[in-house]
Amino acid sequence: MTSSVGNSAEVAGYDEATLRFYAEQAQTYAANARDGPSRLLGGFLKRLHPGARILELGCGDGRDSEAMLTLGFRVDPTDGVAAMAKQAEARLGRPVRVMRFDQLDDLDVYDGVWANASLLHVPGSALPDILSRVFRALKPGGLHVATYKAGEMGGRDGLGRYFNYPSPGVLEAAYHAAADWEVLSVRGYAGGDYEGGQRPWLAVTARRPR
């Protein structure tokens, strides 16, 4: 594991090697993805009103967006890799916006922003900027949930993907540096990863104040 991203895209909030991995492996990644929606999705949706408008960042193969749409929520699925967005489009039967996190410029639009295992790829120094974009995209009172692989320093996994690997304190500090977030919880849990192992994860629940 290395401790740096190693390219100038760090300030822009993305890593070229990680985007390339998902572009090259989109079909395989989608085929090997989990069978059902993410474990924390139900708790996120229970906090929102029926029919709430939700932005999903890094929708992957579209499983979570599919679950939300089935429940009657208005969902805008997005992914930063065109090949992955096509996998989601095939599943959802609707367009999926190709958008990197640093391209998010919506203002006061969403009741919720769901980012399961996606913002964990943002270079650590760029995370506050991305979180400020998420904050601005939410309506006042809007809810945000994101999951991250826990650690002490950013680096790469065995597949060459970059992860920011934050500690709870570093992660909460990034949210407070980004905007006037109301951080409701930073909770640790054990979860799997694409390489087949188990590791510690962090789930952040935060709100844009009214």
- Residue 168 within any structural domain of the chain: yes
Contact (CB, 8 A) for 80 and 162: no
- Residue 92 within any structural domain of the chain: yes
- Residue 180 within any structural domain of the chain: yes
- Residue 3 within any structural domain of the chain: no
The per-residue pLDDT for 12 is 63
**Beta strands of 64-109 (E only): which ranges?**
74-79, 97-98
- Residue 163 within any structural domain of the chain: yes
- Residue 1 within any structural domain of the chain: no
Q: Answer whether residue 84 shows pLDDT above 60.
A: yes
User: Over the chain, what is the mean pLDDT?
Assistant: 92
Q: What is the mean pLDDT of residues 160-164?
A: 96
**Of 69, 111, 61, residue with least CA distance to 91:** 61
The per-residue pLDDT for 34 is 67
User: What tens digit of pLDDT does each residue of 10-59 get?
Assistant: 456 899 999 999 999 999 988 877 678 999 999 999 999 999 999 999 99
Q: Answer whether residue 4 shows pLDDT above 50.
A: no
- Residue 162 within any structural domain of the chain: yes
Number of helical (H) and strand (E) elements in the chain, helices listed first: 6, 9
Q: Per mean pLDDT, which range of 24-33, 88-97, 112-121, 191-200 is the poorest?
A: 191-200
What CATH number corresponds to the domain at position 104? Answer: 3.40.50.150
- Greater confidence (197 vs 94) lies with 94
- Residue 2 within any structural domain of the chain: no
The per-residue pLDDT for 192 is 81
Number of domains in the chain: 1
User: What tens digit of pLDDT does each residue of 134-158 get?
Assistant: 999 999 999 999 999 999 999 999 9
Strands 53-56 and 74-79: parallel
User: Residue 42 is encoded by which pair of tokens?
Assistant: 């139900």
With a pLDDT cut of 70, the percent of the chain lying above it is 93
Residue span of the structural domain in which 66 resides: 8-207
Strands 155-156 and 138-149: unpaired
